[in-house]
Structure 1
Amino acid sequence: MKKILPWQKLDNAATIFPLMSGKHNQNNFRMQVTLSSPVDKAALERAINNVLPRFEQYDVTLKGGFIWYRFERASSPVTVGDAEEWGMSPLPLFEKGGRTFRFNVQGCDIYADFFHAMGDGAGTGEFLKAVVFEYLKETGCPVEPEGRIITTSTPIDPGESEDAFHKYYKPLPLKDLEVKSMQGSKAFHIEGTRYEDHGTECVQYTLPSHEVVDLCHSLGCTVTEYLGAAFAMAVYDGMIRGKRKKTRAIQLFMPINLRRFFPSSTLKNFSLFSRVKIDTKTPPTMEGCIKIIHESLKRDTDKALLQKKICTTVRAEVLGVMQIIPRALKRLFLGFVNLFFGKGKKTATFSNVGIVKLPESMRPYVTNIHYSLWPNSNSPYTAVVVSVWDSLNITFNKAIKENDIERALSARFVADKIKYAFSSRLWPGVKKKSAARG
């Protein structure tokens, strides 16, 4: 067993998240697992605390150092809360002992909220799969890992805790860094009536995976290209079409899992993004959007270009001046972050996580899975796609009341003869009452 360290550095991508986060503006994402029977809260707590020693890099709290934030070992066990009470209230990131994740339950649903500094969806998804697997064992379900679960007895791979950005970093001359291509340009910004008390509406679509795949085959495109185009057209049809004023281009941020191109077993952050730009000077078409997304992803998944982008992101961290500037002053230097992630540089994030691969023995007990990103001041609208079994799930988290985008997307699915189930729920942004922190 690898020696457990009392503290650890944040990975390259994670270093900026605490500096960009405030009480009601956090870079969080949610994973929702729906079981076939009501969740036993006590059994889930046991499962989480049984699994955490195997995922030691997640058993941490956030601590502010003089130069950078760091992770320190957590000193208390995790407790599970009630989803109705906590809603989508902020994580206690900057409170003493506050963890960087939270588990809540309601009925048959497990809600796991993660601060992005912990890792990306690929890494934390492995942790969540392990927790659900352990929970099913705790409740007497006959499940087997089948090579798809990191169990408590799975040997630790040192690569799980590596900073893959630094692993693949190669110093480049300043002239070769990809600053301009990552910077982008001003984009159309979705605006509307904000919910009170930082509330968030969660809108979920569930589609039959095989129907979507068959449609994409007939169109000669991928699922990501079709759904990304459908979302872009919904933004245009719902928010722009028919308006007299000129609008900027729709720009979608589409995450790229770098593990596909640079081998790594890291459970930390290891992803970049493709910036998809759809001009609105003339009305876009579905076919045109599919083509633009195809070309953008092809361009941005070129390995040589990705290598340059890795070097660009790491270079910003390893600059000598960044190693001596006190953390309290680093916020003054966040202007460069707005070059990449500023409010005006994207319309929304659209992410297709892909297929969550679970053991077949878990099929009777896990009925569905949804992933979502929390909206924030930079992006009041987010969209995430994930598939499990034969369900393809799209989740919008939005901070505004208007539903024009959903209406336009629903009309698209009807026109394309795709069946779908639809649900919507408003989550409070402030917890309803005092609760014990896990």
Structure 2
Amino acid sequence: MQQTRAYWRKLDNAAKLFSATSNKKDTRVFRFYCVLKEEVDQERLQEALDKTLVTYPVFLSVMRKGLFWHYLEKSGLRPVVREEYREPCSNLYVRDKKDLLFEVTYYGRRINFEVFHALTDGTGATEFLRELVKNYLYLTHRGDGLADQPLLDGDVTIQDQENDSFSKYYSEVKKKKEKKPRAYQLKKPRKETGRLQVNESVLSVKAVLARSRELGVSMTVFLTTVFLMAIHKEMTKQQEKHPVVLMVPVNLRKFFASDSMLNFFNWIEPGYHFGEGGGSFEEVLQHVKEYFEKELTTERVAKHMNELITLEMHPILRLAPLELKNLGIRAGARLAERDVTAIFSNMSAVKMPKDYEVYIERFGVYTSTPKIELCMCSFGDKLSLGFTSRFDTLNIQRNFYRILKEQGIEAEKVEPEFPEPDVPSELEMKVFRFFSFFCLVAAVVFVALDFNYHPSVRWTLFTAAGIGSMWLALAIGFVKRYNLMKNAMWQLIIVTVGCILWDAFTGWHGWSVDFVLPIVCMVILFSMFIITKVQKNTAREYMIYFVMAGGYGVILPLILLLTNVVKFKIICTICVGVCFLFLAALVIFKGKEFREEMHKKFHV
């Protein structure tokens, strides 16, 4: 029986954070990759990707914006495999651009899977990459007798993959606010280019496990301690008044049954206050061990998870408009960042069918970060460590490996190979900045002329204001260039409001509401109609913009007509009638899509 997907779905608790806080410096993108023992073939990898998406169609989604929340919508877009072409963990979620939230590339013997964190977490990414690599190796070596072995349990449905496990296991709790001491923050100089710095090494799993067992702790506790000590070595005595704190994500599937491919993780924050404690390796290790034992229980993990979701469920916060929510989420995220020094993510062991292991060198993982982050995963006896940062220093990484060596563990440094990045967006931004600067220069010149010569007709100020208006319209067009329908809506608002203000500040002659407002409303609505035909947009894609433009063309002119602000009423009356009939046609002929879009855009 063919399984069906929901056309749209709400974001899970963690995804709401990532959708609000992602930006060019912190893209919230992570890379999971596999290094094979042979060169990657592009066509075969494309075939393997298409096959993988049959198993995991939930990845074929795009981010959309509602009035109260973002949401994910099923998409007919298909990913195209290409050779790696830009900086690792580059932006995948571009606001207003309907693109898939993951990308598969290759370089030499490496298969890269990059994904925006709002779509899935480390566990979901691991499962997707395992399936992708398995399919690629099967297609490549089936002639050698390699069997196609299923990795996903046959009982797991598409609905299971789409389930929001946060909501499933949520139970209301009263959150007690705990005051945390501000964590030590790294103040290293940033790299001039701002590019992500990737530093990788490979350890022996057996060696790390053996040393961890000697010390009576888990591998994660051992490496957490090493990381804390490595950071401490860069601190001054003055800085020791702040604790060093790591954020360590926790896979909630280990505590609650879930087959979800969405985000389902939480985190703990082990740390050590070197200004108060002794600071020896053994003391820090014991402190971290006790912290892990205390926090990694089902009761404590559930409590922390429920506290986070309770905030999301607050009725007042739920009804706040999306842009206001985003401001609050970003502010909260910035405050939370002060509680953490660095991040340590353990993606655990990646397992593949035994027949496939001979073709695989290793797996690896790392992520974009505004701080310094250590990610790790293992395959066989190879433990891959990936440090990422945008700081112009490697001292902490050096300290980390020195401490490991003192513990009897040797690290093999890996020099990651990347092609020269293709960055056309940087050229676009440079051109836009030059344009903005020249507009500013011209405006300043005309204001200076007005200040010095005081012409009877203030044409200098009008020209400066005109330049400002032109810049604003073109700036909005540049920012919203990925979505022509949204661009048109913004131009409608800017042109009409701008003209009304211009009319008001020049003595009010009424031309802005008698002619400009109704004509522009009808022109924009007609332009949107043409755009939908040229781009062959579906009703679900154009509906909300038609509703906004039509509603704007009915409500504002009607208010002006009823209050007798409009003197030449015929054009405004025609505008109200045309826009009203347009909206009525949407409800009558596209009623199902209309109701669905209103539900999506206004869900709380």
The TM-score normalised by the length of structure 1 is: 0.89
- Which residue number corresponds to residue 248 of structure 2? 254
Is 1:185 aligned to residue 181 of structure 2? yes
Secondary structure of 1:273 counterpart: strand
Structure with larger Rg: 2
Q: CA deviation at 1:92?
A: 4.0
Is 1:325 aligned to residue 317 of structure 2? no
For 2:194 and 2:155, the matched residues in 1 are separated by 41
For 1:256 and 1:413, the matched residues in 2 are separated by 24
Equivalent position to 2:219, from 223, 246, 249: 223
Contact 1:81 1:105 in 2 (8 A): yes
More strand by share: 1
For 2:176 and 2:264, the matched residues in 1 are separated by 17
- Which residue number corresponds to residue 287 of structure 2? 292
Matches within 5 A, 1:18-29: 18-29=19-30
Query: 1:78 is matched by which residue type in structure 2?
Result: P
For 2:87 and 2:47, the matched residues in 1 are separated by 20
Is 1:131 aligned to residue 132 of structure 2? yes
Q: CA deviation at 1:428?
A: 9.3
RMSD value, Cα: 2.5
Query: 2:48 is matched by which residue type in structure 1?
Result: A
- Which residue number corresponds to residue 525 of structure 2? none
Secondary structure of 1:3 counterpart: coil
Is 1:106 aligned to residue 101 of structure 2? no
- Which residue number corresponds to residue 62 of structure 1? 63
For 2:44 and 2:124, the matched residues in 1 are separated by 23
Matches within 5 A, 1:49-88: 49-88=50-89
For 1:329 and 1:81, the matched residues in 2 are separated by 38
Q: CA deviation at 1:162?
A: 1.0
Contact 1:198 1:429 in 2 (8 A): no
For 1:45 and 1:165, the matched residues in 2 are separated by 33
- Which residue number corresponds to residue 46 of structure 1? 47
* Alignment deviations for residues 325-351 of structure 1 (CA, whole Å, 9 cap, x no partner): 221221232266337x63311011112
Matches within 5 A, 1:24-423: 24-141=25-142, 142-144=145-147, 149-150=151-152, 156=157, 158-172=159-173, 174=174, 177-180=175-178, 184-237=180-233, 239-240=234-235, 245-281=239-275, 282=277, 284-334=279-329, 337-338=332-333, 342-376=336-370, 380-423=371-414
Contact 2:4 2:158 in 1 (8 A): no
Contact 2:20 2:330 in 1 (8 A): no
Q: How many residues align?
A: 423
Do the aligned partners of residues 427 and 21 (structure 1) sit closer, same or farther apart at CA in structure 2, a change above 3 Å counting? Answer: farther
Q: CA deviation at 1:243?
A: 5.2
For 2:104 and 2:283, the matched residues in 1 are separated by 41
Contact 1:62 1:93 in 2 (8 A): no
Secondary structure of 1:188 counterpart: coil
Contact 1:199 1:429 in 2 (8 A): no
Which stretch of the first structure deviates more once superposed, 131-140 or 270-279? 131-140
Do the aligned partners of residues 178 and 349 (structure 1) sit closer, same or farther apart at CA in structure 2, a change above 3 Å counting? Answer: farther
Q: Which 4+ residue blocks in structure 1 deviate beyond 6 angstroms? A: 426-430
For 1:145 and 1:284, the matched residues in 2 are separated by 52
In structure 1, list runs of 5 or more residues that go unmatched. Answer: none
Query: 2:163 is matched by which residue type in structure 1?
Result: E
Q: CA deviation at 1:79?
A: 1.1
Q: Between the two proteins, what is the percent identity of the paired residues?
A: 23
Q: CA deviation at 1:96?
A: 2.3
Secondary structure of 1:31 counterpart: strand
For 1:228 and 1:114, the matched residues in 2 are separated by 25
More helix by share: 2
Secondary structure of 1:197 counterpart: coil
For 1:387 and 1:178, the matched residues in 2 are separated by 38
Q: CA deviation at 1:191?
A: 2.4
Contact 1:197 1:429 in 2 (8 A): no
Q: CA deviation at 1:413?
A: 2.3
Q: CA deviation at 1:295?
A: 1.4
Secondary structure of 1:342 counterpart: helix
Higher RCO (C-alpha under 8 Å, 6+ residues apart): 1
Query: 1:250 is matched by which residue type in structure 2?
Result: V
Which stretch of the first structure deviates more once superposed, 425-434 or 216-225? 425-434
For 2:368 and 2:257, the matched residues in 1 are separated by 29
Do the aligned partners of residues 407 and 140 (structure 1) sit closer, same or farther apart at CA in structure 2, a change above 3 Å counting? Answer: same
For 2:158 and 2:361, the matched residues in 1 are separated by 30
Do the aligned partners of residues 60 and 398 (structure 1) sit closer, same or farther apart at CA in structure 2, a change above 3 Å counting? Answer: same
For 1:102 and 1:201, the matched residues in 2 are separated by 20
Q: CA deviation at 1:433?
A: 4.5
* Alignment deviations for residues 244-292 of structure 1 (CA, whole Å, 9 cap, x no partner): 5554110001111111111111111111111112112155221122112
For 1:385 and 1:95, the matched residues in 2 are separated by 33
For 2:310 and 2:146, the matched residues in 1 are separated by 45
In structure 2, list runs of 5 or more residues that go unmatched. Answer: 426-481, 483-604
